[in-house]
Chains A and B, each alone.
Chain A
Amino acid sequence: MSITVLNPGLLTTVQDQGRVGYQQFGVSVSGVMDPRSAALANILAGNDQGEAVLECTMMGPQLQFDKANVIAITGGDLGPTLDGKAVPNYQAVAVKSGQVLKFTAPKTGCRAFIAFAGGLDIPVTMGSRSTYMKAKIGGFQGRKLEKGDQIGFRAPVDTLPHMEDRALRPEFAPKPVYTLRVVLGPQDDAFTDAGIDTFLSGTYTVTPEFDRMGCRLDGPVIAHKDGGDIISDGIAFGAIQVPSAGTPIIMLGDRQTTGGYTKIATVITADFRTLAQLKAGDKARFVKVPVEYAQSLLLAQRSALKALSGINA
């Protein structure tokens, strides 16, 4: 085996870009909460953008390397150290056999992503290595990592070409109030005009009820025309459900495939990197943008990732 989990941290799971194509059968997509940061970690570690990574939440894990490999850590800064010495985020790092990677304490953000050169030896279930905990599908035995778990590397390396160039500036910076851009809909017509105004002008606070399924916010109550129940329909990543109580819940990677609450808007894909880093107590406000603009931002992000991938050509 290649890594041994000495301490799993709060919630560490294997995730790739998600289990696409099975939502019609009731299977959640799962996948990394911040696809961009995970893609950056993979590029730095010499992988395809969509390779499976370890997603760490708040308190990161403690991992012993039984084989050497190159890794890269992106996303929030959870204070990574190697044999007790600080190791940089957003940079390829050659880890020797016997070394211990440990996360000391969260400094900024909520989630970090560890990519391993050559990928992790995790079976592909329904086209994906992502962990879907509720149904015990995929990832490491369908669950979060636990003490004593061992995971192999598929193709470890001692070093990579251009090691010195495999570094990027960390992207996430804490803010007093985060801005999440949204596209209104699908049920924006279920709210009063005043309700929409409340949603777009209020400041919302992340409650302790946030996990991989959803993130519950607290703040000004959003007024419905006629209650928050609908006949169940599909739910997108980033969909903002507003049940009759009037406070929003942002639906995330492990969301159920369908749901019966009104959805006022959807966070744009380009802002998932911010959304994934919110934690209890953080404040956010919502800004409406046209869908065409949201798509332009997403495509610009993707082009930038493709350009960076050139280092692995």
Chain B
Amino acid sequence: MADVRFLLTGDTSVCVEFGNEISEPINAQIRAFNIALSKSDIPGIVETVPTYRSLMVHYDPEVIRYAPLMEKLKGLLGQLDKITIPPSEVLEIPVLYGGEEMGPDLKFVAEHAGKTEEEVIKIHTSTEYLIYMLGFTPGFTYLGGMDEAIATPRLKTPRVKIPAGSVGIAGSQTGVYPIDSPGGWQLIGRTPVRMYDAGRATPILPQAGQYIKFYAIDQAEFDKIAAQEAAEGYQVKRHPRKEGGT
């Protein structure tokens, strides 16, 4: 933890920076520190925001001032190897791949990669993608780890409206659009799972530090899950991640 830096972000928050690159080990340290902080008795913590390489800690200076907070955060860092951190969770996200409506760009992605559509789906569903952070819009995940073999440039002309649930590829990134929005990603499929639903007890499904594993479903399964989401809500399958992935 020698490289950890505490950066001043004003008078009600501080940024704990774990490194200066996008890497799974650095992100794992952030997750561990975030969990340790939530379990600690440090008073006055308002909220925390994990990002690629840092954890922003918002606090109430009426409860704890800057200097004592720094002392406590540094103390917690020193204890980090003594705290048991549960394994990350893998969220299994069902996707209906291809088709004019759901995945109009799957054909182009396959052509670009010099592969069949089935091969693209196989590659896309074979990785557990780390959720480095959320941002941009509510529930938008910045995922890491996509196979470069299916990397595809963005559309030259972005679409005006992409439906929520669309699964896309942009360069070597992949992700899900949580809300209807304009965008230039190559759309390869759609999930019936609501990544974001303001009316839910937990409005946003994914969390930084979890992993997403996509799996292919057919139209019947898509309709069934969509109906469950519209009724009482669909419970996404989840399991603890094995060391080093599957």
Contact = CB atoms under 8 A, between A and B. Distances in A.
A and B are interacting partners: yes
Interface of A: 20-27, 125-126, 134-135, 137, 183-187, 231-234, 236-239, 256-258, 263, 266-270, 291-292, 294-295, 298-299, 302
B39 to A, nearest CB: 16
Interface string B7-50: 11111110101001110000000000000000000000011111
A177 B195 CA distance: 47
A66 B56 CA distance: 45
Contact of A239 (B9, B134, B140, B198): B9
B54 interface: yes
A183 B8 contact: yes
Contact of B134 (A24, A238, A302): A24
A258 B9 contact: no
A26 B62 contact: no
A39 to B, nearest CB: 14
Interface stretch (B106-114, B184-192, B200-208, B214-222): B200-208
A257 B8 contact: no
11 contacts: A23-B58, A24-B134, A25-B138, A126-B203, A186-B9, A232-B142, A257-B135, A266-B8, A269-B10, A294-B11, A295-B65
Do most interface residues of chain A lie in helix, strand or loop, or is the interface mixed?
mixed
B51 A258 contact: yes
Contacts of A268: 10-11
Contacts of A231: 20-22, 51-53
Contacts of A302: 62
B198 A266 contact: no
B65 A233 contact: no
Nearest to B54: A233
B201 to A, nearest CB: 11
Nearest to A23: B49
A295 B66 contact: yes
B52 A22 contact: no
Nearest to B140: A26
A185 to B, nearest CB: 3
A269 B12 contact: yes
Contacts of B50: 24
Contact of A183 (B10, B47, B54, B208): B10
A143 to B, nearest CB: 14
B65 to A, nearest CB: 6
Nearest to A126: B203
B16 to A, nearest CB: 10
Contact of A23 (B15, B47, B66, B140): B47
A25 B15 contact: no
Contact of A236 (B12, B54, B66): B12
B78 to A, nearest CB: 22
Nearest to A266: B10
A134 B181 CA distance: 10
Given A187-B7, A269-B11, A299-B62, A134 B137 contact: yes
